[in-house]
Amino acid sequence: MSDVFEFLFKYRPALLEEGELAFLSPWPPVVVGAVAAACAVAALISYATARGRSTLADRVVLGVLRGAALLLLFAVLMQPALVLTSVVPQRNFLAVLIDDSKSMTIDDRDGSSRAEKATGLLAPEGGVLTSLSERFALRYFRYSSAPSRMRGPEELTFGGSNTRIGRALGYVQEELQGVPLSGIVVVSDGGDNSDDAIGKALLPLRAASVPVFTVGLGDEEIDADVQISRVDVPAKALAGSSLPVNVLVDARGYGGRAASIVVEDMGRIVAEEEVTLPRDGQPLVVPIAVSLEAEGARELSFRVAGQPGERVLENNELRAVVQVRDRTEKILYFEGEPRHEVAFTLRAIEDDAGVQVVLLQRTAENKFLRRNLDDPLELLGGFPTTREELYNYRALVLGSIEASFFTHDQLEMIAEFVGERGGTLLMLGGRRAFSEGGYKGTPLEDVLPVVLEEPDGSTPTERQVFVKVAPTLAGAHHPAARIAGTVEASEARWDSLPAVSTTNLVLELKPGATEFLAGTVVSGAGPSADRVVSAFQRYGKGRSIVLAVQDTWLWQMDATVPLEDQSHETFWRQLLRWTVAETPDPVEASSERQSVEAGEPATITATVADAGFVEVNGATVTARITTPAGVAQDLAMDWSVEEDGSYAAMFVPESDGIFEVVVDAAGRDSTVFGSARTNVRVAPSLEEFRDPHQRRGLLERVAEETSGRYYTLETVDQLAEDVRFAGGGVTVREERDLWDMPAVFLLLAGLLVGEWAYRRRRGLA
């Protein structure tokens, strides 16, 4: 189609867009226009006054055709021309910026790599490079993680593990700031895995009127590829806990095919999940439960085997590091009355060294039973009345205890325990819980993940129903609901457990809440609608959970349950471990990026709070960094000033491996706020192989926003001429005739032939 356009109008659309229309006739335009108008009017009058066999319509049609032909002739006499601004040969510079990253080594479906296409395109004997060098002084640059100058394309290695196109464009502009720069030619597959906004990087180029001409390499679609795109894994875990991990799998060309996702902990297989690969364009989220026992930084590998015909295997694997902590987490369990649920819950977790459940049980008015204490004075006055006392725990379990027991300040403190401290609230079912316990209208109503119904005044016996509990679709992979080794075995185990009872009418979730255990009513006097058994939601920095049944001990003691069945114990251990899995400490540390390369800066961040979880500014914060070889160095962390309690430090790792980081924080008065551990994984990045198709959209955007153009290998021959007329620098005006376009003569011939054909058809002289 472009060839036809160029034949008719002499020039390509790109040149017509760049140029301006002008008339080169020495005659004054007013005079020529007046003569043309007079001739056209004369033609119309002559036809209008003509008589004979012609009708009024005939005379109008013939007059218009004759007038149009005369106007076209006069337009030709005006000598229309295209005025272009072209660069002066060898007076301007042109930057050639080439993608030198690993993604350029990917083979396309024609069997050749993008690197081979790039080197062939820029070969000294190639037509494109020759045409450019005839008009411009060329300067070569390459870019991947960082841009740099080079003498020529022969220095390319295609070994970079990151692509940062915005940073590279800024570097080129700065390097050539003092010379007349006509433009920048970018040869790339469009990959960009930086965090920088590309629009911000293009602003200086637009301000300086430096166009960017992009040449896209690589297949725009990969017809056969499987990729692990993302792994959502917690940064820390309690040793022995079931770790919830979501693996995002993308696939093209293998829809419906079976595959296996293998999870390895430092080379040891810890989980394996069979999946059916999704259809093209439909990502698949695979929940996997992973249990880690060894303390310290553990590197997990998530891998799916290569499939037949798959060209890119590097994106089949993704790695992440989890900080496994072997310590005991404290949970406060406040129960309002003696009941079997308390005894069996404590028995279920008594051998679990990872959690310490401190029991506070009301036995009479202002009398409490206390168990599993660290200090004889702990909870001596009953339920905590200060934030410092409550915030010492990482989770709070409320049993059958009415809301009126608490003061309004205590209820607000519990809400802040979740929202500001980041703790977890677990409310259990019971005759004094939920709406039946008067929690509707209190500060805890907003915290809970379920809608509290209006109490109807019925007795616990009138409300009681028995429900058969089963995991929901979301709960099938949830760590708290996984009571057997596999999803299938877990579902079978749930199906074998007896029904349990509830006296709470919990029917509806709040928006954003997730239900992972549902109950089907099998008997009882209460309403027959199915119940929400267990659900959770995020609230501020923490979480709230409900378990709206009152006798899970039946899963242990019912006559139908075998003595060796550990479902009850497993459920409570995993549920309580999950409640403390994400609760923060007063001092928390993390790496700004989960993985960096050797020689690349790594930033460590930390948040510091006091015992009441109020952010502390101006603290003395030190990060001790230990290399994989065991060499330690201390770095002072600086307060960010912009954010309360936030500190940061940067270091440059020189070797691959996992760097351990311990952050210690203390106040000016020698108050110790605490310490935290994190890690930095240092390894060659494989991000270049994520989404291995050509990112044409990005390249087109870069070209469009800088008034440049995008080219394929089929259209790149037009590059030299386009840069000549679209580029900046030292330029001259150039005039090109338009009057002799074939389209003009074809139109004139069409008008004359049309007039003759109309006359002949109508039988007119």
Residues 190, 128, 706, CA angle at the centre, nearest 5°?
Answer: 45
> For 3-118, where are the E strands, in sequence order?
20-23, 80-87, 93-99
Report which residue type is found at 722: D
Question: 85 forms bridges with which residues in the sheet?
Answer: 733
The pLDDT-based confidence of 606 (bands split at 50, 70, 90) is: very high
Q: What residue numbers bound the domain in which 51 lies?
A: 2-84+735-762
Q: What is the pLDDT of residues 55-78, one digit of tens each?
A: 777 767 777 777 777 777 777 777
CB-facing half-sphere around the CA of 417: CA atoms within 13 A: 31
Judgement on whether residues 401 and 442 belong to the same structural domain of the protein: yes
**Other beta carbons within 10 Å of 627:** 16
pLDDT for res 436: 94
Judgement on whether residues 573 and 595 belong to the same structural domain of the protein: no
Judgement on whether residues 134 and 192 belong to the same structural domain of the protein: yes
Judgement on whether residues 358 and 466 belong to the same structural domain of the protein: yes
The pLDDT-based confidence of 185 (bands split at 50, 70, 90) is: very high
Judgement on whether residues 156 and 300 belong to the same structural domain of the protein: no
Report the C-alpha gap between 384 and 361 in whole angstroms. 13
Judgement on whether residues 570 and 426 belong to the same structural domain of the protein: yes
Q: Residue 27: is its pLDDT beyond 70?
A: no
Min mean pLDDT across 26-40, 245-259, 297-311 is at 26-40
Q: Residue 452: is its pLDDT beyond 90?
A: yes
Average pLDDT over residues 258-280: 91
Report the C-alpha gap between 85 and 19 in whole angstroms. 7
Report which residue type is found at 547: L
Report the C-alpha gap between 591 and 603 in whole angstroms. 6
| Ramachandran assignment for 16, one of left (phi > 0), alpha (psi -120 to 50 degrees), beta (any other) | alpha
Report the C-alpha gap between 623 and 638 in whole angstroms. 10
Q: Are 227 and 316 in contact (CB under 8 A)?
A: yes
Q: Residue 583: is its pLDDT beyond 90?
A: yes
The pLDDT-based confidence of 622 (bands split at 50, 70, 90) is: very high
pLDDT for res 223: 87
Question: 320 forms bridges with which residues in the sheet?
Answer: 300
Judgement on whether residues 715 and 643 belong to the same structural domain of the protein: no
> What's the CATH code of the domain at 300?
2.60.40.10
- Please choose, from the candidates 661, 397, 652, the residue with its C-alpha nearest in 3D space to the C-alpha of residue 546: 397
Q: Are 706 and 205 in contact (CB under 8 A)?
A: yes
Q: Residue 177: is its pLDDT beyond 80?
A: yes
**Paired sense of beta strands 542-547 and 514-524, if any:** unpaired
Judgement on whether residues 386 and 420 belong to the same structural domain of the protein: yes
Report the C-alpha gap between 332 and 349 in whole angstroms. 14
> What's the CATH code of the domain at 148?
3.40.50.410
Judgement on whether residues 397 and 486 belong to the same structural domain of the protein: yes
User: Could you give the C-alpha distances from 656 to 64, 631, 682, in angstroms and in order?
Assistant: 81, 14, 5
Instruction: Specify the 3-state DSSP secondary structure of 639.
Output: strand
Q: Residue 12: is its pLDDT beyond 70?
A: no
Last residue of a domain, one of 548, 579, 610: 579
Q: Cβ contacts of residue 601 below 8 Å, gap of 6+? A: 650, 651, 652
Min mean pLDDT across 16-25, 135-144, 490-499, 729-738 is at 729-738
> What's the CATH code of the domain at 394?
3.40.50.880
Judgement on whether residues 450 and 494 belong to the same structural domain of the protein: yes
% of residues, the chain, pLDDT over 90: 57
Judgement on whether residues 150 and 192 belong to the same structural domain of the protein: yes
Judgement on whether residues 301 and 200 belong to the same structural domain of the protein: no
Min mean pLDDT across 125-139, 388-402, 449-463, 647-661 is at 125-139
Report the C-alpha gap between 246 and 289 in whole angstroms. 9
The pLDDT-based confidence of 197 (bands split at 50, 70, 90) is: confident
Q: Could you give the number of structural domains in the chain?
A: 5
Indicate the burial class of 601 (C-beta count within 10 angstroms; 0-12, 13-18, 19 or more). Answer: exposed
pLDDT for res 29: 65
Indicate the burial class of 39 (C-beta count within 10 angstroms; 0-12, 13-18, 19 or more). Answer: middle
Q: What is the pTM of this model?
A: 0.76
Q: Cβ contacts of residue 679 below 8 Å, gap of 6+? A: 297, 321, 323, 591, 658, 659, 660, 661
pLDDT for res 648: 96
Q: What is the pLDDT of residues 303-328, one digit of tens each?
A: 999 999 999 999 999 999 999 998 99
